[in-house]
Amino acid sequence: MKIAIIGTGYVGLVAAVCFADWGHEVVCVGRNGEKIARLREGLAPIFEPGLEAAIVRNLTSGRLSFTLDTAEAVASAEAAFIAVGTPGWENSREANLTSVYAAARQIAEAMTGSLVVVTKSTVPVGTSDAVERIIRDIRPELKSAVVSNPEFLREGAAIGDFLRPDRVVIGTKEAWAEDVLRRIYQPLQQASVPIVVTRRNTAELIKYASNAFLATKIGFINEMADLCEQVGADVTELALGVGLDHRIGKEFLSASPGYGGSCFPKDTDALLHTAHEYGVPMRIVESAVAVNDARKRRMATKIIKAVGGSVDRLTIAVLGLTFKPDTDDMRDAPSVAIIRDLQNAGARISAFDPQGTENAKQCLEGVRFWSDPYDCARDADAVVVMTAWDVVKSLDLDRLRKVMRSPVMVDLHNIYVPEAVQRHGFRLVGVGRPDQLTSITRPNAYSVPEPQFGAVSAKS
């Protein structure tokens, strides 16, 4: 089947290569000539494991091509996927749907025959109705259907997730459109992946409900981690004991500096906006968002306490910047807020990230970036394990301690085993576990003054 995809970001590109791997003929539409030229040479504009190889493979097979011309992509296609960004508006919780509506107009103007238009982007309930109105206003003479088909892939594991999803959601009540979607996803049907066919607005809401639930789970375990610290319990063991209950599940029960990235923050916001519009209280999601916002400041405070109550003129080495490992995506990464708080409190920041440095430079200022974790930690007064990259998880602790001024490690993911780290001469502060630093200095642990956040300006 010939498929057009509008958008060459994380979702558009991953969908394109996976559809092509399944034997479909895919034409992917971008709007940046330089990026399209590089894609035609097999160069991915983003870091996502396996993506570049899949682009090259499918360019070579002739099943994948890239264009700036929507007409070229949509002509003779049976389906056109909208996979453009839906960020939040500045100073508002509402989703910005400008790109979705622009893509819908592009598609409508390019249509030559009947077409199924698929909203793959995460869009608020009712958006596909609006997309349908755009298509039918512009091309009333052509048969069309708009289907909601939300995407659940995770950056860093996107291709595997797309090829082996937990479910495929198809939002339509039109049988011919459902048939087109079922033919596209035929390999998954054969692999017995559940296909949920539902109303279009339910499909749109499933995506937001899923992300809001996962965000809530993260907020929940982080609050449990805070309680663990106060009562001397261990959140990692707590999460195991809780998560082994199959009604709860082990996933998303790791204490952390909070969620970030291009989806959870904006999607929880957009859901709250929708709920507010319809006058429906959504206190659980509101709390999850508030807990997550507070989490970042709490982590900055934890780091400041770990070095004795003030980071003024101290060097803090931050290992990992992206919101999760195996991506270069810095959108809403917790590292940004935490680093700004530390800078406001007078810290000098050295930072290392295997893939995210270029994007990090766009949202952080006054930071020294390094391409090696040991160079980053040189003369540091503390290292902070911010993102659980493999290279950050397997540090040579002897080497690390030797280059540091002061052997303090703040591990915001509980990667390192306290006893092992202490054997290498470190003082370790983790998240939600009996705090080694606190237990060493317990008499003063609660008399450390609250850190003061100054007013160093930061780029937003």
Binder of ligand NAD out of 16, 20, 27, 30 (CB under 6 A): 30
**Under the criterion CB under 6 A, does residue 86 sit at the interface with ligand NAD?**
yes
In the complex, minimum distance from the CB of residue 238 to ligand NAD, in angstroms, rounded to a whole number: 28
Q: Does position 322 bind ligand NAD by CB under 6 A?
A: no
In the complex with ligand NAD, which residue's Cβ is closer, 121 or 128?
121
Show Cβ contacts of residue 305 under 8 Å, excluding neighbours closer than 6 positions: 429, 448, 451
Residue nearest to ligand NAD (CB): 9
Q: For residue 32, what are its two tokens? A: 């940046």
Q: What is the spatial distance between Cα 139 and Cα 134, in angstroms, rounded to a whole number?
A: 8
Query: What is the per-residue binding string for ligand NAD in 231-270, x denoting contact by CB under 6 A?
Result: -------------------------------xx-------
| Bridge partners, residue 369, by sequence | 351
Q: ∠ CA 381-335-386 to the nearest 5 degrees?
A: 60
Q: Which 273-302 positions form the footprint of ligand NAD (CB under 6 A)? A: none
Residues 339-398 contacting ligand NAD, CB under 6 A: none
Q: From 69, 50, 171, 179, select the one nearest 120 (Cα to Cα).
A: 171
**Per rule CB under 6 A, is residue 219 in the interface with ligand NAD?**
no
Which helix (H) or strand (E) segment holds residue 117: the answer is strand 115-119
Report the residue number, 39 or 388, with the smaller CB distance to ligand NAD. Answer: 39
Is residue 210 a contact residue for ligand NAD (CB under 6 A)? no
Structure tokens at 33: 């000539």
Instruction: State the residue for tokens 């959504």.
Output: 282
- Binding ligand NAD (rule: CB under 6 A), the pick from 2, 9, 138, 393 is 9
55 binds ligand NAD (CB under 6 A): no
Q: Which of 18, 28, 228, 263 is catalytic?
A: 263
Residues 94-153 that bind ligand NAD (CB under 6 A): 99, 102-103, 106, 121-122, 151, 153
Cβ atoms within 10 Å, residue 337: 20
Of 48, 51, 85, 318, the residue at the interface with ligand NAD (CB under 6 A) is: 85
Please return the burial class of 374, using the count of CB atoms within 10 Å of its CB with bins 0-12, 13-18 and 19+.
middle
Sign of the four-CA dihedral 254, 255, 260, 265: positive
Minimum distance from residue 287 beta carbon to ligand NAD (Å): 22
DSSP readout, 196-255?
EEE-HHHHHHHHHHHHHHHHHHHHHHHHHHHHHHHHT--HHHHHHHHHTSTTT-STT---
Tell me the C-alpha distance between 448 and 460, whole Å.
Answer: 31
- 118 strand-pairing partners: 81, 147
| Binding flag, residue 11, ligand NAD (CB under 6 A) | yes
Q: Of residues 17, 74, 83, 218, which one binds ligand NAD by CB under 6 A?
A: 83
Min CB(169)–ligand NAD separation in Å? 12
Minimum Å distance from CB 425 to ligand NAD? 39
Catalytic: 228?
no
| Site for ligand NAD contains 29 (CB under 6 A) | yes
Catalytic residue ranges: 263
Q: Which residues bind ligand NAD (CB under 6 A)?
A: 6-12, 29-31, 83-86, 99, 102-103, 106, 121-122, 151, 153, 155, 262-263
